[in-house]
Structure 1
Amino acid sequence: MTDLTHESGNFIQQISLSSQLLAEEIDPNNQSAMEEITRLQWARKGLEHLLEDLRQFASPLKLEKDQCSVRSLWRQAWSDVTRTDEATNASLEDTTDVSDDTCHIDAFRLGQVFRNLFENSLAACGEKPRIKVYCRNGDGTLKIVIADNGPGLQPEARERLVEPFFTTKTKGTGLGMAIAKRIVEAHGGQIVAGRTATVGAEFLITLPRQTAEKAGAEGSSLVADPELRLRRRHCKSIWLSGPSRIWS
């Protein structure tokens, strides 16, 4: 997988450099040519995104744990995904019933999970996305519910939610939820789709309320992963068969 990532990265870099050179050579008043350059640049970005998703999915998961506020993570993730003009009408409402929302977690990895869920909601909700996050204590756990005002999950999507390479988006790798599941489970937690009484999708994340002392020494840990070889073979076959297999 390392060789595949390296070689593919080289090709993507060549595409990037060539498109930049073309953009400099073409008359900026040639609208049709400039539109083709823009399409080429977007295709490059799509390939970079696909390659990064494949790399994360097929790589060992190393956690850098520390005591961290979970609320601060989802607020930072929301800030990250709503910086674009497309998200100007989106709103976040978060509430918590806990006085201490810290857990012994990898802040970067858990931030990825929240970003993925928020991005999915923003893509599904239409013009005025409304996202709600609610946090409460469980039995030795912290439970975070994320709900939106979108169309909700269809039966097939609910059944195949964390299946690698399955997506309902017109453009996407179908790896976001699979990676999110890996990250949450690596923390000893769980992520499941809820069943809302009204419209919209809902997800429940459960994390163990484990302190640094109970977890042992702080710092990094490599998560045991018996399915790693299988995922690597799967990713390699997908990449070699062509990105169109995912984006079609």
Structure 2
Amino acid sequence: MMPERRAPDTAERPSPVGQTAPPADDAMLKSARRVRRNVEEERQARLAFLGTLAAGLAHEIRSPLEAIKLNAELLSEDIGCVHEGHRKEFENRLERVKREAEQLKKTLDEFLAFARPPKIEVFPTDINAYLRELIEFAEPEFRAAHINVVTDFADGLYPVAIDQAQMGQAVMNILANAREAIREHGEVRVATRETEKHVEIRIRDNGGGVKPELEEKIFEVFFTTRERGTGLGLGIARRVVEEHEGALILENRPGVGAEFIIQIPKGRYLEYSDAAAGAEKAK
């Protein structure tokens, strides 16, 4: 699926006096809607298949993976039994086994999160306070890479209804993508804005941006340009945002940096408030 791009605002231009716009072609509109519906049904079918596949993978991989990690830890405890001349080499190989096992576990967890997402449970959230907590949690990794995280939060934002755990994963995935794009010595800017219909989270980096020919691929499952990447982070982020009936938009500046914009609809908060009020009256 192609990543969404923000289209420039254009004012409506009135038809010249004495002229009327041609009537819409109903057949073409119906055909376009049918194509969109078919694409969405195909996407949902793929996700359902991935969910079934994920369940099998979890069963077949998780148990032996845990056994590998446990045995690696046991071997670490017996490192003193290894001949001193070979101890350092043995330690290095053992650490590599641990790293690879942890990377495989991470890939499995991300695949499960993408293929079998839990149902979202939304709560009204002060998005600025929520983002401050996430950034505070992530900041040590940025600091270690000499990356400065700057915030620019709008005051008095409309509260939004989100699943805090899942939206947190989406934000953290985008932050991780920004950190990996910069590698070291750069800046990530996290901002919030409010529009008529949405509250926006904007995450911008100066990591060089996305190559134009790759813009259509970055949200695809398992697509990655990084040696240790799983290719699931941005796909998970988009799925989470879409589950909130929002949109994840890429504003790309090749050679400069990329900005990901999470648009969260205000209407979800009103729906939550109405449902909560109804439940309170029913008590």
Residues 168/18 of structure 1: CA separation in 2 closer, same or farther (3 Å cut) = same
Whether the 8 Å CA contact 2:207–2:258 is kept in 1: the answer is yes
Structure 1 residue 213: Cα displacement: 4.1
Alignment coverage as a number of residue pairs: 218
Within the candidate set 199, 205, 215, 1:148 is matched to 205
More helix by proportion, 1 or 2? Answer: 2
Computed over aligned residues only, the root mean square deviation of the Cα atoms, in angstroms, reads 2.1
What corresponds to 1:217 in structure 2? 275
Structure 2 unaligned residues grouped into runs of 5+: 1-53, 277-283
1:22 to 66, 70, 75: 75
Match of 2:237 among 180, 195, 199: 180
SS in 2 for 1:174: coil
- Mark the structure with the bigger radius of gyration: 2
Choose the corresponding residue for 2:144, options 87, 92, 115: 87
Is 2:70 the partner of 1:12? Answer: no
The residue identity in structure 1 corresponding to 2:229 is G
Paired residue secondary structure (2:104): helix
1:2 is matched with 55
Give the C-alpha shift of residue 81 in structure 1.
Answer: 2.4
Q: Distance in 1 between matches of 2:189 and 2:143?
A: 19
| Cα pair distance change 1:163/1:197, threshold 3 Å | closer
What residue is the counterpart of 2:126 in the other structure?
69
Percentage of pairs with the same residue: 29
Q: Specify which structure has the bigger relative contact order, considering alpha-carbon pairs within 8 angstroms and separated by 6 or more residues.
A: 1
Question: Equivalent of 2:168, from 108, 111, 122?
Answer: 111
**1:167 aligned to 2:220?**
no
User: Structure 1 residues 47, 150: closer, same or farther in 2, change over 3 A?
Assistant: same
Asked if the contact 2:187–2:205 (Cα under 8 Å) also holds between the matched residues in 1, the reply is yes
The Cα of 1:101 is off from its aligned counterpart by 4.5
Cα distance, 1:22–1:108 mapped onto 2, change above 3 Å: same
How do 1:208-247 residues align onto structure 2 when only pairs under 5 Å count? 208-210=265-267, 212-215=269-272, 216-217=274-275
